[in-house]
């Protein structure tokens, strides 16, 4: 089957610095793919290119067979940015319903369901400006989920969440993938990597691993993913 996302020889420059160096990868449909790498390695930049909001120097990014940023994709991609993208002076419910109103065939009931899905049903009537950081992040996630996107791009969705909520969110991502949604999640947290079907490890704008977690462990001869990633990063440092 054609992959959900295909990135070919992608070069991106930001602030006159090259931050993605001819990066290529493909992301299968109906999977959870983790995007991991040190701070500043290019995770957000790659996600922005996939969503179609990043100016690229060269290369191509195709999503569901269409060029990233194409108009028909707008209703099919959910994007959770790292900084919550919600209105502080609206309640959680009003935010979700506002985003629902931007889509054809998405109802207030869908908005309310998305709020419940992220564990915010009890806070639905609260102003976003009065929420904790973790709650605000979940309100933003609810807005990204509202239209039940085919492709979901999540930039560090579990930052600031307690272990129980993180577990709930990961179960939800897995359930969405089981129903056919393609989920790309960036994270700094290694124990989350084992919950992914595939992992992309990026360092200084280049992919240094693109495989299933078990295959990465086997290939590096390590017992856990944290050790595997340190192994891969050190091996790269020796080469470069």
Ligand X SMILES: Nc1ncnc2c1ncn2[C@@H]1O[C@H](COP(=O)(O)OP(=O)(O)OP(=O)(O)O)[C@@H](O)[C@H]1O
Site string for ligand X, 209-238 (x = CB under 6 A): ------------------------------
Smallest distance from the beta carbon of 130 to ligand X, in angstroms? 26
Q: What is the DSSP letter of 224?
A: S
> Closer to ligand X at the Cβ: 45 or 158?
45
b/e for 111-132, b at 16 or more Cβ within 10 A? bbbbbebbbbeebbeeebeebe
43 counts as binding ligand X under rule CB under 6 A: yes
Coil, strand, or helix at residue 229? helix
> Closer to ligand X at the Cβ: 12 or 114?
12
Give the span between the Cα atoms of 20 and 42, in whole angstroms. Answer: 6
Q: Which helix (H) or strand (E) covers residue 67, if one does?
A: strand 66-67
Give the span between the Cα atoms of 203 and 209, in whole angstroms. Answer: 9
187 counts as binding ligand X under rule CB under 6 A: no
> Closer to ligand X at the Cβ: 33 or 41?
41
Which of 26, 44, 60, 126 is the binder for ligand X (CB under 6 A)?
44
Smallest distance from the beta carbon of 171 to ligand X, in angstroms? 24
Query: Of 36-44, 53-61, 106-114, 132-140, which segment contacts ligand X by CB under 6 A?
Result: 36-44
Site of tokens 């707008």: 74
Residue nearest to ligand X (CB): 15
Cα torsion 128, 131, 137, 139: sign: negative
95 counts as binding ligand X under rule CB under 6 A: no
Q: Distances in Å between the alpha carbon of 39 and those of 44, 67, 156, 162, 189?
A: 10, 28, 12, 21, 12
Which of 4, 5, 7, 19 is the binder for ligand X (CB under 6 A)?
19
Neighbours of 186 (CB within 10 A): 25
Q: What is the DSSP letter of 111?
A: H
Query: Of 2-10, 43-51, 118-126, 224-232, which segment contacts ligand X by CB under 6 A?
Result: 43-51
The footprint of ligand X (CB under 6 A) covers 14-15, 19, 37, 39-45, 82
């Amino acid at each position: 089957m054609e992959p959900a996302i295909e990135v070919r020889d992608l070069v991106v420059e930001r602030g006159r610095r090259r931050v993605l160096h001819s990066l290529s990868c493909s992301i299968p449909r109906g999977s959870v793919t983790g995007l991991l790498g040190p701070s500043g390695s290019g995770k957000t930049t790659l996600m922005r290119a996939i969503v179609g909001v990043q100016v690229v120097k060269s290369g191509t990014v195709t999503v569901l067979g269409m060029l990233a940023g194409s108009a028909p994709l707008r209703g099919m991609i959910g994007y959770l940015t790292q900084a919550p993208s919600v209105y502080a002076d609206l309640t959680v419910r009003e935010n979700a319903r506002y985003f629902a109103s931007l889509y054809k065939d998405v109802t207030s009931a869908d908005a309310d369901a998305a709020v419940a899905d992220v564990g915010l049903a009890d806070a639905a009537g609260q102003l976003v400006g009065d929420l904790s950081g973790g709650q605000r992040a979940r309100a933003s996630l609810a807005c990204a989920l509202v239209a039940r996107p085919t492709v979901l791009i999540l930039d560090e969705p579990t930052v600031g969440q307690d272990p129980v909520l993180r577990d709930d969110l990961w179960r939800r991502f897995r359930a969405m993938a089981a129903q056919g949604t393609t989920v790309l999640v960036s994270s700094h947290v290694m124990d989350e990597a084992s919950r992914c079907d595939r992992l992309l490890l990026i360092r200084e704008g280049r992919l240094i691993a693109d495989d299933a977690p078990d295959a990465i462990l086997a290939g590096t001869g390590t017992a856990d993913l944290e050790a595997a990633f340190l192994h891969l990063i050190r091996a790269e440092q020796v080469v470069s």
